[in-house]
Each structure stands twice: as structure tokens, then as C-alpha cells.
Structure 1
Amino acid sequence: MPAKRWNELSPRTRKLVVVGATVDAVLRIAALVDLARRPAAEVRGSKRRWVLAVTLLNSVGVVPIAYFLRGRRPQPA
């Protein structure tokens, strides 16, 4: 099945693509900002690897969500 061009997509599908890309971009930016501000001791694993994963992997928001759920250590009270 050949890929459709943007012009061939229905208006609803175009909106879904734009919304999905926006959500993905916001999650990536939030994860990168959090990584930049958080000390390395509060991150599970290497900060460099998290940054590479968040920026380079095409994950449709999965990698940033994984970082927020599993990549951060709880802050001491």
C-alpha cells in the first residue's frame, strides 16, 4: 500500500496527525527541560542516554512518558 500524500488525507486525519505531532513535541520538550534541570543523582541511568533516546528515537511520545514514569528517582522530602 503506497503512502498517501498530505493532500490525499482527509481533514480529520490531518488534524489527528497535527495533534499527535504537537503532543509528541510537547512531551519531548518537557522531558528535555526536566533532564537539563534535574541533578544526575535524581535520574535513573545516564542523563546523556535519556537525552539521546528522547531526541533521536521516533517513539510517538513513548520515550518521554517512560522517562517521566521510570527515569526519575523520587525527590527526597
Structure 2
Amino acid sequence: MNKSPKFSPEVRERAVRMVQEHRADYPSLWAAIESIAPKIGCAPQTLNDWVKKADVDSGQRPGTTTSDALRIKELER
């Protein structure tokens, strides 16, 4: 079952950018996420997942990047 994404990549990028730009205005990352998520129209946990993935992709957090995950998926086929 393929689920179409509710949010476009542009909206996701904008939301992550908003969190990163306003992180210092809040006492914690979660507080920033809880404040910004309703403005985007998503759940705070969804936005938190996007922020984490962006941190991994930019090298600020350890983990498998999006491009590596796609490459692994292709190789497994």
C-alpha cells in the first residue's frame, strides 16, 4: 500500500528551517517544535522526525543519510 505524502518536500524543508532558525528563541528544541508544528499543520512528532533526519543528512547527528538509505534499498533489490 503506497501512501502519498501529505506534505511536499518544500513544506518539510521550510518547517525544518523554521525550527533551526528559531531554536534559540525557545528553552528547548522540543518547545520550538511544539510551537512551529501547528503553524505547518503537522504533529510535533512528525516535525521532530523531519528535524532529526535533516540533522543526519547535514552530518550534525550520526545515522544513515537519506541518500545512503536509498542506495542501500536499490542495492538490496
For Structure 1 versus Structure 2, the TM-score category normalised by the shorter chain is: under 0.3
Give TM-score scaled by structure 2 length: 0.25
Q: Larger Rg: 1 or 2?
A: 1
The normalised TM-score by structure 1 is 0.25
RCO greater where, 1 or 2, for CA within 8 Å and sep 6 or more?
Answer: 1
